[in-house]
Structure 1
Amino acid sequence: MTAPAGPVRFGTDGIRGPSGAPPLDPETLGKIGAALGIWLEGEGPERKQVLLGDDGRSSAGTIRTALARGLAATETIIVDVGLITTPALAHLVRTGRFTAGIMISASHNPATDNGIKFFNANGAKLSDESEQELEQLIPSMELAGAGEPPIHTRPELVGGYEDYLGNLFMDLDLTGMNIVVDAANGSGSDLAPRILRRFGAEVVTTGCTPDGSNINDGVGALHPQSIIELVREHKAILGICLDGDGDRGIFVDDSGVVRDGDETMLVMALALKAKGMLAKDTVVATIMSNLGLVKACEKHGLHMEITPVGDRHVAEAMRNHGFNLGGEQSGHIIFSSDGALTGDGLFTALQL
């Protein structure tokens, strides 16, 4: 019999911390996986199938195996798609036959950290209530010794997300246009350039060579200044800086000016309002958005709904009140065009 696990607490975006240390040690991760499997039994279908993906950190394999041991102990089928962005994983969960999804990522944190984000069958992050239920379950989980858990490796599934974007933006033609992409040496390193080239763009890449230890190392959404010269040199129409798991983006315009999430939200809001498509003429933002956004919204007759920090709170407000645009200054931009309500840096770039 194993000793009870120490308290596991969800943060604003899942569970995160130094790799190998509690709660990201193999024993606790096994209990987390088992707790999820037990919790899913009360959520719907008898056949439980969970999709896993990661942002390329060297610790992802250890975490995946530990989670899978716990899931397998509850007779849950485990499918691993490998390197993938968080929004792409959420899309595949929502459109596939999955009862849940787990993204192994610490987002913008350094490579020595890692984390896990959970998604329900609708591709949405778990509610506070669901996370609390899991927190209560985890300490009581007991795992007997087991061998390697059965994991079905399906990297080709990511093609479903690529086709989704291809169909959604079928009229987009980027032929002959230069775009700079910095994927933070993370989960969008292969996916983002490939999708942009699908639309005909000439893609200049940097920060797209993940080696397991270089994620967010001077690149990506935390360091957009690093691509300014590339944008100017290649006369690019846009520079895209994703974070480690691709759910947010900071952009550099064709003149080399960095545009954060607040500026991107305003551009999107004005475009939607001009088309009569901005629900209730409202933008949902967090308490971190600056006064400039507030004043700009007032100037253009837009309303603002303010939430606590975290894209999950933005999505919840959008879902509860019927808004269709929200985000954070950090670059999480959330649209409800397909009901996903998940931040997606690449989706936002295609909208721009």
Structure 2
Amino acid sequence: MGRLFGTDGVRGQANGLLTASLALDLSVAAARVLVDRGGYAGQRPRAVVGRDTRISGQFLEHAVVAGLASAGVDVVRVRVVPTPGVAFLTDALGADVGVVISASHNPMPDNGIKFLARGGVKLDDTIERAIEERMGQPWQPPTGADVGRVTPYSTPLEEYVAHLVSTVKPLTGLRVVLDCAHGAAYQAGPMALAAAGATVIPINAAPDGLNINEGCGSTHLGPLQAAVLEHGADAGFALDGDADRCLAVDHRGRVVDGDQIMAILALGLRDAGRLRDDTLVVTVMSNLGLLRAMAEHGVAVRQTAVGDRYVLETMNADGYSLGGEQSGHVIQRDHATTGDGILTALHVLERMVVTGESLASLASVMTRFPQVLVNVGGVDRSRTDDEVLAAAVAEEEAALGDTGRVLLRPSGTEPLVRVMVEAETQGRAEQVAERLAKVVRERLTLS
């Protein structure tokens, strides 16, 4: 069997790659690895299982629960809860594993299975490999009283929302639009913002199992922009299907991306003395404007490979308190073990209350450089160290100087090389990107 786990669990088309049989086998293997590593001395381990609103999540949830319980794991079902909510409950309930059934921002036909370790943190690569190796191997399942129990949990949303609200000051006086993407936060999101004192106008909060992420949420900001203007709101926030990411819109309908959100939160934490080592952790895709703004305000920036798991690994290794991605994954480690879109929205709103500034004013702390990304297909992604290509990149970087930057990044899964260029003007960024894309095609083309 090939590698199943990607950067965010096992993901694919429901009933295509991701079948009920695969979900069952994965869960049995995960339970067996957990039991072997746990040393439970006769006690059954415990799992928390939640999902988003996709219709396929219903049969996949049953398969996951069946696999875990058949392997002797007691299962607590929390039903439709955001990914960060499952992570919180896994930790709060002292569970040994959490399972989230979601494909995040992907379209409805997809789904995914993500395992969390004790404490609500992502599994490391060694455990994922151990689970894959255990799949399909013979085993002796428990019988009689040794099989797991399955119980519903009655107050998952109430406990998760109470945790979120406890992290911020009252938000009284703010009028906020929240795009729930017809996803897992369609209840928790409005509940949390209202409980914190804001006047909330929820949109795209009527999931039917088929409409998750459809023309809405953090990947389609048009409806949020229109609603903010229509309702005269102070701000708007868009979540994705499992609510682990968040993008914003100011009162003028202008987008505030993940980099700007991190700049706002970093300065707020710095001012409060809670930004560990005065350091922000971001990926190499974060905008040059963020790096400049942080330097101007005395905040150091650590950069990682693309992917929130790499941001989190660096944060956990060195004890940093804030990190994330331009796409809206923002991790506030003092309050969460993963990106949390609702938590992000609450803390941006709190910063507005504390400073008395609008979201537009807070976001102006950084100026976004125009960023152009060109995906060059049909090339050998393993040869980005080609001498001629390296020389072309060096020449463009020298010409840009401190007014821009170049990033060449091979795709992890496709025969693609991604050419990203930032410059002071859109036109110049496009010109540099096209020149380098041409060199990539000429030098790395597959024969």
Equivalent residue, structure 1, for 2:28: 34
Mapped partners of 1:317, 1:8: distance in 2:
24
Q: How does 1:222-241 map to 2 (within 5 A)?
A: 222-241=219-238
Q: 1:270 to 1:177 in 2, by over 3 A?
A: closer
Does the 8 A contact of 1:216 with 1:243 survive in 2?
Answer: yes
User: How far is the alpha carbon of 1:274 from its aligned partner?
Assistant: 2.3
The CA distance in 1 between the partners of 2:45 and 2:120, in whole Å, is 15
Q: Write out per-residue CA displacement over residues 318-339 of structure 1, whole angstroms, 9 at most, x where no aligned residue.
A: 111121110000001111213x
Pairing 1:186-205 to 2, within 5 Å after superposition: 186-205=183-202
Which residues of 2 match residues 103-142 of structure 1 at below 5 A? Answer: 103-140=100-137
Indicate the residue corresponding to 1:173 in structure 2: 171
Q: Does 1:218 align with 2:218?
A: no
| Corresponding position of 1:12 | 7
Q: 1:189 to 1:131 in 2, by over 3 A?
A: same
Query: Aligned-residue CA RMSD in angstroms?
Result: 1.8
The number of residues matched between the two structures is: 340
How far is the alpha carbon of 1:141 from its aligned partner? 5.3
Rounded to whole Å, the distance in 2 between the matches of 1:252 and 1:81 is: 31
Q: Please name the residue that 1:3 is paired with.
A: none
- Select which of 333, 343, 346 maps to 1:350: 346
The corresponding residue for 1:89 is: 86
Aligned to 1:262: 259
Q: Which moved more, 1:158-167 or 1:278-287?
A: 158-167
Deviation at 1:182, TM superposition (A): 0.4
1:21 and 2:21 equivalent? no
Which of the pair has the greater relative contact order for Cα pairs under 8 Å at 6+ separation? 1
Q: Tell me the equivalent position of 1:58.
A: 55
Q: Aligned partners of 2:296 and 2:8: how far apart in 1?
A: 33
8 A contact 2:99–2:115 mirrored in 1: yes
Q: What's the CA shift for 1:345?
A: 0.6
Q: For 2:155, give the aligned amino acid.
A: E
* Secondary structure, aligned partner of 1:140: coil
- Secondary structure of residue in 1 paired with 2:15: coil
Structure 2 alignment gaps of length 5 or more: 349-447
1:329 aligned partner, one-letter code: Q
1:63-117 CA-to-partner distances (Å, cap 9, x unmatched) read 1111222212211112211111011110000010311110000000000000011
> Are the counterparts in 2 of residues 31 and 142 from structure 1 also a CA contact under 8 Å?
no
Max Rg structure: 2
In the TM superposition, structure 1's runs of 4+ consecutive aligned residues that sit over 6 Å from their partners are: none
Q: Choose from 296, 320, 338 the match for 1:299.
A: 296
Q: Per the alignment, do residues 113 and 217 of structure 1 end up closer, same or farther by CA in structure 2, a change over 3 Å counting?
A: same
Relative distance call for 1:155 and 1:108 in structure 2 (3 A) is: farther
Given candidates 84, 91, 96, the residue that maps to 1:99 is 96
Cα distance in 1 for partners of 2:140, 2:50 equals: 23
Partner Cα separation in structure 1 for residue 108 and residue 56 of structure 2: 9
Q: Distance in 1 between matches of 2:137 and 2:54?
A: 29
Aligned-pair CA distance for 1:152: 1.9
- Separation (CA, whole Å) in 2 of partners of 1:274 and 1:152: 45
- Match of residue 329 from structure 2: 332
**Contact 1:225/1:258, CA 8 A, preserved across alignment:** no
Gaps of 5+ in 1: 1-5
Give the alignment partner of residue 43 of structure 1, picking from 19, 38, 42: 38
Q: TM-score, normalised by structure 1?
A: 0.92
Corresponding residue of 1:157: 156
AA aligned to 2:321 is: N
In the alignment, what sits opposite 2:337? 341
Identity %: 38
TM-score, length basis structure 2: 0.73
Q: Aligned AA for 2:171?
A: D
Q: Which structure's residues are more often helix, by fraction?
A: 2
Q: Distance in 2 between the 1:82 and 1:26 partners?
A: 17
